[in-house]
Amino acid sequence: MGAFLELKEVHKAYFLHGKRIDVLRGVSLDIEKGELVSLVGASGSGKSTFLHVVGTLDAPAAGTMRYQGRSVFDMNDAELAEYRNRTIGFVFQSHYLLPEFTAAENVAMPALIQRQDRVMSLRRAKELLERVGLGARVEHRPGELSGGESQRVALARALMLAPSLLLADEPTGNLDPTTGEGIHQLLREVNRDLGLTAVVVTHNEVLAQSMPRRLRLLDGRVQAA
Amino acid sequence: MTSWRAPLLTVGGLLAAAGLGFIGYGLYRADTIAMAAGSTANFTVGWGVLLQSWFSAQWVLRFHDFRSAMAAVEHEGVRGVARGIPHVWGGLAVWFAGWAVIAAGIRRKPDEAEGPSAAVGAPLYPPLARFQDFHWGTLGAYCGGIFAAQLVLVFGYLASVKMLPQIGAFLLCLSAGGLIAFAGGFFGAANSKRLSTPEATIAVLYAGLPIPIFLTLLHQQPAMALLSIFDERELLAVRSLFHEVMFLSSLLGDNMPALGYWLVYGFLVLVLVLGINLGFVATSSGRVDLRLSYELFVASRHVSVFRPRLIGGVLITLLFIVVPPLLLYAIATAANAAVEMTRIQKLGLKDPLKAAAALNLLKAKRQGPTAMMTALSVGGVGVGVMALIIVLSVMSGFELDLQQKILGTNAHGVVMKYAGEAMPEYPEVMKKIGGVKGIVGQTPFILNEVMVATEGNIAGSMIKGIDPKTVGSVTDLPRYMQTGSLEGLTDPSKIVAPRLAPLNEPALDDAPTEKKKPELLRDPLIEEAPHDAPDSAKLPGLVLGKEMANSLRVTVGDRVNVVSPLGSELGPQGPMPKSRPFRVAGIFYSGMFEYDSKFVYISIDEAQSFFGLKGVNGVEVKVDDIDDTRRIMKAVRDVLDGYPYRTKDWGEMNANLFAALRLEKLVMGIILSIIIVVAAGLIVATVIMLVLEKRKEIAVLKALGVSDGGIVKIFLTEGLQIGIVGSVLGLISGLVWCLFIEKYGIKLDPQVYYIPALPVRIEPFQTALSVVIAVLISFLASIYPALKASQVEPVEGLKAE
């Protein structure tokens, strides 16, 4: 039995006008349970691609990834969907909330996808929203929320099913420093209280330095920063 | 290399086309273009490849060299083959050259600038490593499904029709075949976890198509026997079996024998496609999941079709025909907007910020183009279903009206003897028939063709000897009597002539009784009549139809002569037409022009003595369930031990008429279904727009853990919601329109249609079928966009800002 999350020789390339761009050139990495990891790198170095591959939103060309000993890339579509649903919580640079649904419904969506009872899910979603400080905005649609509020709703949604791995892609990239700091604070709290593992991609050096483990993506490979 | 691709492909394509042209010209010169086209067609359809290969092989075996083959062709009447040969060979060469150029253009050299990547040796991404381009198991399932479905349908029907009524056996076997086709599609798609279009196409063309083609050929060309699969006697047996299989086509009329089977085949293919899609949706993710919970939740937020404004608007539009409500809506919306803007303006004069807030609210209320498209698609489906229901109900109304009129004047069935022999033993026959379950009335009859003459007027007619006491138990003749009654047939003293018009009214210059006697004397036919006595009160009675009474200008109490050309009296110049005077005892009106202008009734005793007949021509019966007539008549035949007795039911007696009506209804149904297909196109467009609009949301949903199957289900549900709401609205408005037409009626010109108002009959089965077809088409229409939605790559969707 290896690490909590174990990547080996993960390759990924893009083709632009017939030219190959190697984004990931054999990324090998172990992440232990409960670690809070920051990932930095230049723009276009493949940080987002790395996160997408770990979150199985993007298919690599080659390589293996094991989650608690299970080969993730060997799963079929239903198992992958379930992996994303139960194991992973995503927070993106944009909040990506569903515009037709209220904040509470957005937060409850992962539970609804798991076919949990709607009333119970909405109740839990409201609790989570209160916890991120948005108890008063439960019935608001994303269009009626500010950027910082939306990002907090997105964080609550990522935490809805208590995932064991949180993947955050520049969660504060679109926010002012004060609001961003609030989000960082929340992330640290969640890591401490729930013991969940988190990988945070960021440009924010202050944030990166505050993380216990720091990684850098350079020339398609991951190294300690 | 890459820069030369387009020119190479173009030049190659042009060359190949030119080569084809040369070949065509050569074939034209050689006068063999039809033959070549036939062979090519054979090669492309179904098992034709095998057939054509067999023919070609025979050809090759027969002639060892090219020269003798040519000679044989010339001998068979195809002259000048040699003239085209150089062109054909040249064309072939050019054609191949063209393809060679195309091949050169397609070929791609590996990019040598790039060396081997760093990934050499790393394990390939497993789904790519597992990929399989063709699934033999799936092909087997599809082929087996469509093939077995047809076999079960044909042989199951042939076996079960002996025990069940025809329509029941047919429906049973159709559902069994449909189930098999569905299962084949479902499990095939579940096996490959893909739609597997190539496999499905091969199955439909090569396992499905040959059976209807074979059946059609067998039906249309007995020359198929040339294939020497059957000898003559076997062929006859197969063809009689085949007629049984063609039950559906017998409903449609004899002019399109194969149509019924092709319809069935189309249905089976549709069911197979449905099975494939459902199998794919249910299992593509790796496990069977047909539940709809969050899918429905997300879908109904996307299309939001259950808005009272949308439903109300569409319903009102359908109920009051398109234009007025749309105009009203436009006027109301414009007026509302104007009033609202004035209000905001006033508000803004006091507090500009409040006005801004109000404006914001107003903008938020405006709907996007997708909402408009949704409303249009719902309306389109609604119009289709409504039109289908109304037109089919009116056609059913006409059919029912016709059926009632035919059954009112005709019996449900008749028992006769072969060759029209007389039936003197009819009391015993009637006793036997009376014992059959399902028979509720019977009456003997004599039928003959005669002429009915009055002074100056003459009409060819069918004369029917009836028993006035029992005829009412079989037909509605007593109810149809307008003036007079049937009693006058047996008892002439009961004939009551209506009071004549007062003498001071000269307009009635043809008042019959006054002029009759002098004219009678001048009539050579009547001079021959034995009852020339002036005592017309003793003449036997006769009942005729309203139209005939009009054309003969007679009324109750008048005297007419019935002339039969089949006289037995011999005159100086051979057989003389027999004539006998009758007195009009009554006039009937059945509402069916055919009968009102053709039929004349006399009592059975008079008919016997007039035609010199012992006994009767046959017995008419009435049954308790007209839809079961065929079976009951068969029971009657069995009671009478068959020959020399034979039976006919109303369906057989009017087979062509009802077949024509049904065919017309089917064609109307198909034509009107095109409206629904157009509406389905709208659904496709709407759902595609939704997919494009929701790319980002699809990506997010996938990130949250919705499988591809879940995305498909979401968008299928969206199309289905549009279809269901549209169909239900169409159903409601269609029924309301039907009830309206039934209640208030649309007047028809009785001179033309012989029916006062548009008849309407709402048949639950066909109404339900219209709705089901509409919902099914909507479902099929949303399959393609739903699949497109599931193919949205999460990364792509997340990039689309």
DSSP string, A134-156: -GGGTT--GGGS-HHHHHHHHHH
**Residue B505 neighbours by CB under 8 Å, 6+ apart:** none
Give how far A49 is from chain B: nearest CA, Å. Answer: 9
Rounded CA separation B619/B645 (Å) = 11
Nearest-angstrom CA–CA distance, A14 and B128: 16
Which positions 176-215 of A are in contact with B (Cβ < 8 Å)? Answer: none
Q: Is B503 on the interface with A (CB under 8 A)?
A: no
Q: Which amino acid is at A64?
A: T
Distance from CA of A215 to the nearest CA of B (A): 21
Query: How far is A58 from chain B, CA to nearest CA, in Å?
Result: 6
The distance between the two most distant Cα atoms of chain B, rounded to a whole number of Å, is: 126
Cβ distance A13 to B117 less than 8 Å, yes or no, reads yes
Confidence label for B248 from pLDDT (cuts 50, 70 and 90): low
pLDDT > 70? residue B62: no
Cβ distance of A77 and B285 shorter than 8 Å: yes
Number of H helices, E strands in chain A: 7, 10
List all residues 6 or more positions away from B790 whose beta carbon is below 8 Å from its beta carbon. Answer: B708, B709, B711, B712, B715
Q: Do B794 and A109 touch (CB under 8 A)?
A: no
Q: Is B126 within 8 Å of chain A by CB?
A: yes
- For residue B115, the chain A residue with the least C-alpha distance is A20
Q: How far apart are CA A54 and CA A29, in angstroms?
A: 11
- Give yes or no for B799 touching A (CB within 8 A): no
CA angle B217, B221, B223 (to 5 degrees): 115
- Over residues B352-381, the mean pLDDT reads 78
* B242-269 average pLDDT score: 66
**Which pair of structure tokens corresponds to residue B508?**
């009635």
Mean pLDDT of B700-727: 90
CA–CA min distance A24, chain B (Å): 10
Q: Which pLDDT score is estimated for B244?
A: 58
Q: Which of the 8 DSSP states describes residue B423?
A: B
Q: What average pLDDT score do residues A192-206 get?
A: 85
Does B522 lie at the interface with A, CB-CB under 8 angstroms? no
Q: Which of B529, B541, B540, B539 is nearest to B569 (CA)?
A: B529
Please give the full DSSP string across B206-230, using - where no structure is assigned. Answer: IIITHHHHHHHHHHH-GGGGGG-SS
Q: Residue B305 contacts by C-beta under 8 Å, 6 or more apart in sequence?
A: B311, B374, B378, B721, B722, B725
CA gap A57, B678 in Å, rounded: 37
CB contact under 8 A, A61 and B114: no
What is the least distance, in Å, from the CA of A179 to any CA of chain B? 22
> Is B247 within 8 Å of B157 (Cβ atoms)?
yes
Give the A window 23-62 contacts with B, CB below 8 Å: 25-26, 52, 55, 57-62
Residues composing chain A: 225
Backbone conformation region of residue B20, classed left if phi is above 0, alpha if psi is from -120 to 50, else beta = alpha
> Min CA distance, B796 vs chain A (Å)?
9
Are the beta carbons of B800 and B718 closer than 8 angstroms?
no
Task: Give Dmax (Cα) for chain A.
Answer: 52
- Whether the per-residue pLDDT at B343 is higher than 70: the answer is yes
One-letter-per-residue 3-state SS of B4-60: HHHHHHHHHHHHHHHHHHHHHHHHHHCCCHHHHHHHHHHHHCCCHHHHHHHHHHHHH
* Window B:653-672, CB contacts with A under 8 Å: none
Q: What does the alpha-carbon distance between residue B658 and residue B652 come to, in Å, rounded to a whole number?
A: 9
CB-nearest to A62 from B122, B699, B707 is B122
What is the mean pLDDT of the segment spanning B633-657? 78
B658 membership: H or E segment, kind and range = helix B655-693
* Token couple for B141: 């399932």
- Read off φ and ψ for residue B761, nearest 5 degrees: -140, 115
Query: What is the rounded distance in angstroms from the CA atom of residue B631 to the CA atom of residue B324?
Result: 53
Question: How far, rounded to the nearest angstrom, does the alpha carbon of residue B530 sit from its chain's CA centroid?
Answer: 58
Between CA A15 and CA A61 the distance in angstroms is 12
Closest among B634, B654, B632, B653 to B440, alpha carbons compared: B632
Q: How confident is the model at residue B510 (pLDDT cuts 50, 70, 90)?
A: very low
Between B52 and A84, name the one with better pLDDT. Answer: A84
Closest CB from A26, A98, A112 relative to B118: A26
Rounded CA separation B84/B521 (Å): 86
Of B308-317, B323-332, B531-540, give the lowest mean pLDDT range.
B531-540
Q: Is the ipTM of this complex over 0.95?
A: no
Distance to chain B for A11, nearest Cα, Å: 6
Residue B703 in contact with partner chain A when CB distance is under 8 A: yes
d(CA A219, CA A123): 46
Residues 6+ away with beta carbon under 8 Å from B567: B575, B576, B577, B578
Cβ contact, residue pair A96, B700, below 8 Å? yes
With a pLDDT cut of 90, the percent of chain B lying above it is: 9
Higher pLDDT, B791 or B43: B791
Report the pLDDT value the prediction gives residue B521, as an integer from 0 to 100. Answer: 43
CB pair distance less than 8 Å for A26 and B701: no
Q: Kindly state the tokens that stand for B703.
A: 């990130």
Give CA–CA dist A154/B161, Å, rounded. 65
Q: Which residue of A has its CA nearest to B700?
A: A96
CA distance B342 to chain A (A): 26
Interhelix angle for B48-62 vs B33-44, to 10°?
130
State yes or no: pLDDT of B534 exceeds 60. no
Q: Which helix (H) or strand (E) segment is B651 a member of?
A: helix B650-653
Residue A123 has pLDDT above 90, yes or no: yes
A chain contacts of residue B285, beta-carbon cutoff 8 Å: 76-78, 81
B1-60 residues touching A, CB cutoff 8 A:
2
Q: Is B131 on the interface with A (CB under 8 A)?
A: no
B77 torsion bin: left (phi>0), alpha (psi -120 to 50), beta (else) = left
Mean pLDDT, rounded, for B211-218: 73
Which residue, among B591, B574, B610, B565, has the nearest Cα to B458 in the 3D structure? B565
Q: Where are the alpha helices (DSSP H) in A23-174?
A: 47-54, 77-86, 103-113, 118-131, 147-159
From chain A, the residues in CB contact with B128 under 8 A are 59
- pLDDT, mean over chain B: 78
In order of B410, B415, B423, the CA distances from B430 in angstroms are 18, 10, 11
B315-324, B515-524, B746-755, B762-771: least confidently modelled range: B515-524
Helices B323-350 and B308-319 meet at what angle, rounded to 10? 140
B119, B289, B697 member nearest A61 (Cβ): B119
Q: Which amino acid is at B191?
A: N
pLDDT for the residue B728: 94
- Burial group, residue B193, by CB count within 10 angstroms (0-12, 13-18, 19+): buried
Query: In Å, how far from its chain's centre is CA A169?
Result: 6
| Contacts B122 to A, Cβ<8 Å | 9, 11, 26, 62-63
Q: Which residues contact B26 (CB under 8 A, 6 or more apart)?
A: B84, B85, B86, B87, B88, B89, B90, B91
CA-CA-CA-CA torsion sign (B443, B448, B454, B459): positive
- CB of A219 within 8 Å of any CB in chain B? no
Angle between helices A118-131 and A103-113 (to 10 degrees): 130
Q: Say which of B2, B123, B284 has its CB closest to residue A63.
A: B123
Contact B798 A96 (CB under 8 A): yes
How far is it, in rounded angstroms, from Cα B279 to Cα B195? 9
For residue A100, the distance in angstroms to the closest alpha carbon of chain B comes to: 6
Res. B318: pLDDT tops 70: yes
Can you give the pLDDT at residue B515?
42
Q: List all residues 6 or more positions away from B139 whose beta carbon is below 8 Å from its beta carbon.
A: B188, B196, B199, B202, B203
- Say yes or no for a CB contact (<8 Å) between A110 and B284: no
Q: Are B276 and B189 in contact (CB under 8 A)?
A: yes
Tokens 């408005």 belong to which residue?
B733
What is the reported pLDDT for B726? 92
Nearest C-alpha in B relative to A92 = B798
Peptide bond into B644 cis (omega under 30): yes
Q: CA B152 to CA A102: how far, in whole Å? A: 53
Minimal C-alpha gap between A174 and chain B (Å)? 14
Query: Percent of chain B having pLDDT more than 70?
Result: 79
* Residue count (chain B): 801
pLDDT recorded at residue A109: 93
pLDDT at B410 over 60: yes
Residue B759 phi/psi, 5° resolution? -80, 145
Mutate to test the interface with A, among B108, B702, B704, B793 (most CBs of A within 10 A): B704
Of A34-43, B259-268, B653-662, the poorest mean pLDDT is in B653-662
- Using a CB-CB cut-off of 8 Å, the residues of chain A touching B708 are 77, 81
Q: Two tokens at B267?
A: 């249905």
- B543 residue type, one letter: V
Bridge partners (DSSP) listed for residue A27: A10
Rounded to whole angstroms, the Cα distance separating B157 from B246 reads 10
CB contact (8 A) between residue B706 and residue A92: no
Residue A96 region by backbone torsions, left for phi larger than 0, else alpha for psi between -120 and 50, else beta:
left
Question: Residue B483: beta bridge partners?
Answer: B587
